Structure 1
């Protein structure tokens, strides 16, 4: 929880980051012949302001045009009732699953690609945090809405994945509870639930979507472990003849298909080692694994595993990752239907990636 205390004069803080990226992908023949590509990733600006117990948290990101261009990652106004309770209104992080991240690497875990990790929607959230319990209660009117026409599809130009195409996320409620225990070993055992509507622009009917999750984290010395299981169900009210087994989801300017019903399991761990190597002060080694078990048997399941190192040197953070995927839209597939029907003849593909960021 951010520590922002009441004061008489307004306080403003501005930060941000500039990142560059190198990648070499197993499925891109031309890229392999030239030894990979190195270029611009993202520039972001973070803006925090507070006056007494009212505060603002906003982050705007600018990617290349091919990845959606510029968009607001998060932006909300908060009010702190006391040291334990607060409320947030606006584009805030949805309280579902392990937060802030269910991963250690630059690619996130498999949960991110279905709007289940570091997701942000438009609504109001109440948070409570004390030494033993944390809980969140939230209502989201909808996901990020960039166009306000009566029959306008949601734009895929966004940071976190949401339902796009002919269905729109509406009127979602979330609840999350975490129990904290342990001294030398810090444990966080939690459960999350969400339920909301899927409004179809063609039928004018509202279907539903829901999710349940159990999650556990522990920290011991320089070790961290994250384990999570989720059950996700989507029931759209599509036109007759259109499949209810597949949804469109989108982010970074491009949509793709996702199976409507699935279970997802993730396991991630890391080990940090303090060092003194010139400006380098810490090395964090990690492995993050994800498995998407699609409920329809004819659909091919999806997998993801990322092994890597985070190198910390002052304000510069460098992720060196080897990301492997099977029926994964961002790791070697045809992008369109890897997360829905999938391909039984697919093979594991991999991407070696180095992301260098200066954070200020």
Structure 2
């Protein structure tokens, strides 16, 4: 009973703090509302090594995604939202992000709502259309429901955040997390709750070309069967270099999940979900990633820049008998006005989205797996 009372008091305190922030700072800033609408329309071609029928057809070309972006400001309160429409097979419509914000000054900002989790290299730990392995385990471009404070100065950046939970779409007493979401979260019989994040970055070198940082994450895992709260945690060390036309991203992550499952449920794996489908992920793992890119300005009709890149990642699973996972993407991003086209050759070993067994490639895996690859072209008009 004491735990329940403490949780209720904690939730009320968080809600009161959010309302107080919005009320206190709504008295300043511009008198007229501002709104900007943008978005993107994307199409996708792919040819996969593990799909015999597709290879006989010479690949498939079709609709990828349409999105709408809205940015607004009024009375000092900012709005930032992005809604995406995928095909039904990939989850249909979903809110990627949506938050209210306030700038205290040029260096400090607060955001409330569905906002990006401050963890690792941001905005992306990758250069390609597929992202990196970090994305597929919920540790790249993740967005959750909560409140975040950000500070930026010439030498230092830090972010502190509390997330009540991931995107909640059901609101039932014992409803599972919906898989119709943009970013990967723990799903199935567990739910992410009361998560704390901290991120610190030190910038150095000419024009702060180097960014050296550390990220911490800790939160609860509420189990719908046992009604007990387990925990999950992750620590990352990361470095990013921007020098001339070159960019380098290097990162190490160690992560652990300790769910309070029912006795019949395996605790060596957790279920994660996004894009309309769940799969299993090893509960405890280390992950190593390295990405490099180079821009080459050109004048080829509407084409103004070519960005060549290679992104690599290795997932080291800690459970005995599990087979590790790998991912490598080599490609080029072609920029032509508002059109951005990714040409990717994505290869994976025990990778759920790159051949093999979708359900448990990122969990137990297959020791007899082979490398599979997908040639992909994504064409997007951004407005």
- Both structures adopt the same fold (TM-score exceeding 0.5): yes
Per-residue deviation, 1:19 = 0.1
| Deviation sequence 1:148-176 (CA, Å, 0-9, x none) | 11100000100000011000000000000
Instruction: State the 1:6 CA deviation.
Output: 4.3
The CA deviation string for residues 76-129 of structure 1, in whole angstroms up to 9 with x for no partner, is: 000111111110000000000000000000000110001100000000000000
Equivalences for residues 183-332 of structure 1 within 5 A: 183=206, 186-332=209-355
Distance 1:95 1:184 in 2: 23
Deviations 1:51-79 (A, max 9, x none): 24210000000000000000100000001
Pairing partner for 2:176 from 119, 131, 153: 153
Of 86-95 and 47-56, more deviation after overlay is shown by 47-56
TM-score normalised over the length of structure 1:
0.98
Moved beyond 6 Å, runs of 4+: none
The Cα offsets for residues 191-235 of structure 1, whole Å up to 9 and x where unpaired, read as 000100000000000000000000000011000000000000000
User: C-alpha distance in 2, partners of 1:256/1:184?
Assistant: 43
Instruction: Say if 1:22 and 1:39, in contact at 8 Å, map to a contact too.
Output: yes
Counterpart in the other structure of 2:158: 135
Shift of 1:243: 1.1
Over 3 Å counting, the alpha-carbon distance change for 1:167 and 1:181 in structure 2 is same
**3-state secondary structure, aligned to 2:68:** strand
Structure 2 residue 91 is matched with structure 1 residue 71: no
Whether the 8 Å CA contact 2:246–2:293 is kept in 1: the answer is yes
Question: Following the alignment from structure 1 to structure 2, what is the Cα–Cα distance between the partners of residues 301 and 223?
Answer: 30
Rounded to whole Å, the distance in 1 between the matches of 2:80 and 2:29 is: 16
SS for the counterpart of 1:273 is strand
Equivalent-residue separation in structure 1 for 2:129 and 2:33 (angstroms): 34
Equivalent residue number for residue 70 of structure 2: 47
In 2, Cα distance between equivalents of 1:294 and 1:86: 37
Structure 1: how far apart are the matches of 2:209 and 2:336? 27
Aligned mate of 2:34, from 3, 8, 11: 11
Distance 1:52 1:320 in 2: 43
Aligned CA distance change for structure 1 residues 90 and 185 (closer, same or farther; 3 Å)? closer
2:187 is matched with 164
Two-structure CA RMSD over aligned residues (Å): 0.9
In 1, the alpha carbon distance for the partners of 2:266 and 2:170 equals 26
User: How does 1:81-96 map onto structure 2 within 5 Å?
Assistant: 81-96=104-119
CA contact 2:155–2:208 (8 Å) conserved in 1? no
- Deviations along 1:214-266, one digit per CA (max 9) or x if unpaired, are 00000110000000000000000001132110100000000000000000010
Question: Which protein is richer in helix relative to its size?
Answer: 2
* Residues 31 and 187 of structure 1, relative CA distance in 2, 3 Å threshold: same
Contiguous gaps of at least 5 residues in structure 1: none
Question: Size of the alignment, in residue pairs?
Answer: 356
TM (norm. structure 2) is 0.92
For structure 2, list consecutive stretches of 5 or more residues without a partner in the other structure: 1-27
For 1:79-118, what aligned pairs fall within 5 Å after superposition?
Answer: 79-118=102-141
SS in 2 for 1:207: strand
